[in-house]
Structure 1
Amino acid sequence: MAARSLASLSLSFGLVSIPVKLYTATDSDSAVRFNLLSKEGSRLKQQYVSEQTREVVPREEMVKGYEFEKDQFVIFSADELKALEEGASHIVEIVAFVPEKGVDPIYYDKTYYIAPDKRGGKPYSLLRAAMAKTGQCAIAKWAAKGKSHMVQIRPIEGGLVFQQLLFADEVRSIVDLHVEEVAVSDAELKLAIQLIEQASEDHYDASQYRDEERQRVLSAIDAKIAGKQIVSPEPVEISPSGQVIDLVEALKKSLSAGKRTAPAAKTAAVKAAAGESPAPRKSAKRTASTVAAIPKRAAKKA
């Protein structure tokens, strides 16, 4: 299925305007979702009830409001809200270039891709090549749906990433946690560095890892579909906090354990990358057809 764009934008690069299309870069539909049912198996329908009258309010009678004081609202009509959204700009204005690693990942919000639209291929490729050559990324301003956004545009192999950023007041400071700084010895630091070097990789390879929790839930769903009893996993034993007597000895044991298990872990990772292990399914709906449909009861009229 061809990718579907979310919006058509114009990327302003000096006096050059690059027509681009915006696409999602992540898949948020991979989570296993459960429906809310009655004990008889009927799907439940969400309703909104007025706090004053305790009566159900139909959607066509609902309006949106902003609470400026306790229980005090200003009401916006659908046309007024639409007018606010129409104030959004399709122009993404580049305001600065910074080193590629000049943006702390803590400011990363939603991730998108941008691809050239009609007649945008040449300037798009030029911008990408120039940033890749200089090791720079672009910082740009963008307004959408009544809110201003800052974005980072960075080059990757095959195109450009459109990284929406958080503002400073949207990120909490770790200073507020008052983290205690504790001195460490040279011996402890040396062993910790060795442990890091032993487990170091050139880069994060997402294909070597699986969503084990999602797979466990899907397996339980399959067991339910097949009429089998779900067996609870064995609880994982966790060492009580604050019980490490000798930190150096614990680090040495970690290094020894890492040397013994590294080849096996590497082999498993290689097998997974080669597709020898069964890949997790995208959805549990594939086997849903094997289940007899639960008869729905006719809704009782009030």
Structure 2
Amino acid sequence: MAARSLASLSLSFGLVSIPVKLYTATDSGSTVRFNLLSKDGSRLKQQYVSEKTREVVPREEMVKGYEFEKDQFVIFSPDELKALEEGASHIVEIVSFVPEKGVDPIYYDKTYYIAPDKRGGKPYSLLRAAMAKTGRCAIAKWASKGKSHMVQIRPIEGGLVFQQLLFADEVRSIDELHVEDVAVSDAEMKLAVQLIEQASEDHYDASQYRDEEKERVLAAIDAKIAGKEIISQEPVEISPSGQVIDLVEALKKSLSTGKRSAAASKTAAAKAPAAEPPAPRKSAKRTTASVAAIPKRAKKA
């Protein structure tokens, strides 16, 4: 299925204007969702009820308002709401360039891709290559649907990522948690560093991990479709939070366990025959009822 753009934008880079298109970079539609049904199996329809009259209010009689004090609202007409959104701009203005790791990921919000539009190929490629060479990313301003946004534009292999950022007042401070700073010994630090180095990788490879919870839920759905009873898993026992442990001994055991696991993995890999492609899941042969059990992403109202 071909990617569909969300918007056409103009990326302002000095005196250069780069026409680009905006695309989603993530897909939440693969999440397993359940529908609300009545006991007879029919879908339930969402309705809005007036707190005052307890009667259902049809959509055509709904209005939008802003609560400025407790239970005190100022009402906006559709034309007034539209006027508030007229500040939206198709221009994304780059205001600075910072080191690639100069933005704390805690400020990351929604992630998009941008690709060059007509006649934007060369300036797009130039900006991407220049940022990659200098090890910097762009910080830009953008206004959309009544809200200002700050975005980070960073180069990746094959294109540019358009990372929407949170403002400072949208991120809570960890100081609110009053985390205690406990002193650690040199021996504890040395062992902890060794443990980190033992489990270190050059980068995070998302393809090496599976959504095991999603697979478990889908397997349960397949079993349910097949008429089997779903057996609840036994709860995992958790050690009391106040348990006192010997930190050094725990770190030493972790190191030795990690070394044994690594050695066992290498031995198994050497003895193992050439890997064969995994067999398809039996649940792939789903009937119409199977597909209906995993609802599609609902459209926004």
Same fold (TM over 0.5): yes
Paired residues, number:
301
Q: Distance in 1 between matches of 2:299 and 2:172?
A: 50
Contact 2:33 2:296 in 1 (8 A): no
User: Residues 227 and 86 (structure 1 numbering): CA distance in 2 closer, same or farther, change over 3 Å?
Assistant: same
Deviates more, 1:135-144 or 1:254-263: 254-263
Deviates more, 1:101-110 or 1:271-280: 271-280
1:242 offset after TM fit, Å? 3.0
TM-score of the two chains, using structure 1 as the length reference:
0.89
| Superimposed CA distance per residue, residues 223-244 of structure 1 (whole angstroms, 9 cap, x where no aligned partner) | 1000011122233232222324
- SS of alignment partner, residue 267 of structure 2: helix
1:83 offset after TM fit, Å? 2.1
The percent of aligned pairs where both chains have the same amino acid is: 90
Q: Distance in 2 between matches of 1:210 and 1:4?
A: 27
Q: Distance in 2 between matches of 1:117 and 1:234?
A: 54
1:52 offset after TM fit, Å? 1.1
| Superimposed CA distance per residue, residues 134-192 of structure 1 (whole angstroms, 9 cap, x where no aligned partner) | 00000000000000000000000000000000000100111111111111000000000
Matches within 5 A, 1:95-110: 95-110=95-110
User: Residues 291 and 128 (structure 1 numbering): CA distance in 2 closer, same or farther, change over 3 Å?
Assistant: closer
1:11 offset after TM fit, Å? 0.2
Contact 1:94 1:140 in 2 (8 A): yes
- SS of alignment partner, residue 300 of structure 1: coil
1:294 offset after TM fit, Å? 15
Where does the alignment leave 5 or more consecutive residues of structure 1 unmatched?
none
Contact 1:30 1:282 in 2 (8 A): no
1:262 offset after TM fit, Å? 2.8
User: Residues 196 and 270 (structure 1 numbering): CA distance in 2 closer, same or farther, change over 3 Å?
Assistant: farther
1:259 offset after TM fit, Å? 1.4
Deviates more, 1:107-116 or 1:67-76: 67-76
Deviates more, 1:196-205 or 1:252-261: 252-261
Deviates more, 1:263-272 or 1:132-141: 263-272
User: Residues 141 and 112 (structure 1 numbering): CA distance in 2 closer, same or farther, change over 3 Å?
Assistant: same
Contact 2:225 2:289 in 1 (8 A): no
| Superimposed CA distance per residue, residues 102-157 of structure 1 (whole angstroms, 9 cap, x where no aligned partner) | 00000000000000000000000000000000000000000000000000000000
Q: Distance in 1 between matches of 2:265 and 2:145?
A: 47
| Superimposed CA distance per residue, residues 14-44 of structure 1 (whole angstroms, 9 cap, x where no aligned partner) | 0000000000000011111000001111111
Deviates more, 1:227-236 or 1:246-255: 227-236
Q: Distance in 1 between matches of 2:254 and 2:294?
A: 52
Deviates more, 1:205-214 or 1:269-278: 269-278
The answer to whether structure 1 residue 130 and structure 2 residue 130 are counterparts is yes
Matches within 5 A, 1:102-181: 102-181=102-181
User: Residues 154 and 135 (structure 1 numbering): CA distance in 2 closer, same or farther, change over 3 Å?
Assistant: same
User: Residues 291 and 102 (structure 1 numbering): CA distance in 2 closer, same or farther, change over 3 Å?
Assistant: closer
Where does the alignment leave 5 or more consecutive residues of structure 2 unmatched?
none
Q: Distance in 1 between matches of 2:253 and 2:240?
A: 18
User: Residues 90 and 282 (structure 1 numbering): CA distance in 2 closer, same or farther, change over 3 Å?
Assistant: farther
| Superimposed CA distance per residue, residues 232-285 of structure 1 (whole angstroms, 9 cap, x where no aligned partner) | 223323222232431111111111111122356689999999995759989999
Contact 1:223 1:230 in 2 (8 A): yes
Contact 2:34 2:294 in 1 (8 A): no
Q: Distance in 2 between matches of 1:140 and 1:223?
A: 50
TM-score of the two chains, using structure 2 as the length reference:
0.90
Q: Distance in 2 between matches of 1:10 and 1:300?
A: 28
Q: Distance in 1 between matches of 2:97 and 2:53?
A: 56
User: Residues 76 and 95 (structure 1 numbering): CA distance in 2 closer, same or farther, change over 3 Å?
Assistant: same
User: Residues 300 and 113 (structure 1 numbering): CA distance in 2 closer, same or farther, change over 3 Å?
Assistant: closer
Deviates more, 1:49-58 or 1:271-280: 271-280
1:76 offset after TM fit, Å? 1.2
User: Residues 68 and 295 (structure 1 numbering): CA distance in 2 closer, same or farther, change over 3 Å?
Assistant: closer
Contact 2:98 2:136 in 1 (8 A): yes
1:290 offset after TM fit, Å? 5.7
